[in-house]
Amino acid sequence: MKITVTFAPAQRLAQEWLLELPIGSTVQQALEQSGVQAVFSDIPELLARGELCLGIWGRSCSATQVLTDQDRVEIYRPLRVDPKVARRERFRGQGVKRAGLFAKKREGGKAGY
């Protein structure tokens, strides 16, 4: 099976490892074979504490999850900012007239149309 292991230790800095694993391999085996734990030695500790999460193609999973061909194992960092809060802050900075559905207004048109 061909498996990809992905980890982004910082914003805009992603690393991938391409693996060839036997059928029936688990996420834990993929992490061990990839060498990601050798490059980032604190990953096992952070996973044990629950500060990092694992997923396959954007869906969370456990380390015992069995992989299928072409799976992408992802290691997720915790969010630094709640997405809802970030959206509110962006909207507050842009203002009502430049954001949202009614940003483009016809000349002479009513507000909101």
pLDDT at 90: 79
pLDDT at 52: 85
Q: Which tops the pLDDT comparison, 54 or 113? A: 54
- Rounded to whole angstroms, how far apart are CA atoms 29 and 84? 35
Pairing of strands 2-10, 59-61: unpaired
pLDDT at 83: 85
**53-107 pLDDT per residue, tens:** 899 998 999 889 999 999 999 998 888 888 898 888 877 776 655 656 656 666 7
Amino acid identity, position 27: V
Model-wide pTM > 0.75? no
**40-67 pLDDT per residue, tens:** 877 877 787 777 889 999 899 988 999 9
Q: How many CB atoms are closer than 10 A to CB 24?
A: 10
Per CATH, the number for 2-76 is 3.10.20.30
Closest to 72 (Cα-Cα) out of 27, 113, 39: 27
